């Protein structure tokens, strides 16, 4: 399976989905003007990945390091999780969600 690599831009995250390196990463900020169009190839890749993952005994770790995402992006992330669940590979996938913590001290 071919890797999917998309470099980060101001409004879109870096995407590295590479089964040969065992690297599955979404990192950065996600507020694209058209979230459906941006995430379509990613969701297609995940669906194809799931078909191949069903026949293996291997476990996978997805790193989601999104320091900001808008509601349209959150819907696409929900669709990603639905694909994993629907394809019955959720038990093989660990999704690590990195959430930035902002501490504001009152003066």
- The whole-model pTM stands at 0.84
Average pLDDT over residues 63-70: 91
pLDDT at 98 over 60: yes
Average pLDDT over residues 22-50: 95
Q: How far apart are CA 58 and CA 101, in angstroms?
A: 32
pLDDT-derived band at 38 (thresholds 50, 70, 90) equals very high
pLDDT-derived band at 44 (thresholds 50, 70, 90) equals very high
* Mean per-residue pLDDT over the chain, rounded: 87
pLDDT at 103 over 60: no
16-35: per-residue pLDDT in tens? 999 999 999 999 999 999 99
Which CATH number describes the domain made up of 4-97? 3.30.750
């Amino acid at each position: 399976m071919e890797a999917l690599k998309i470099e980060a831009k101001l409004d879109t995250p870096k995407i590295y989905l590479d089964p040969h390196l065992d690297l599955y990463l979404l990192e950065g900020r996600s507020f694209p003007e058209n979230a459906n169009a941006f995430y379509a190839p990613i969701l297609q890749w995940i669906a194809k990945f799931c078909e191949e993952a069903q026949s293996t005994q291997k476990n996978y770790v997805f790193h989601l390091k999104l320091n900001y995402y808008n509601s349209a992006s959150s819907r696409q992330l929900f669709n990603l999780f639905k694909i994993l669940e629907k394809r019955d590979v959720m038990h093989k996938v660990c999704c690590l969600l990195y959430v930035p913590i902002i501490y504001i001290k009152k003066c």
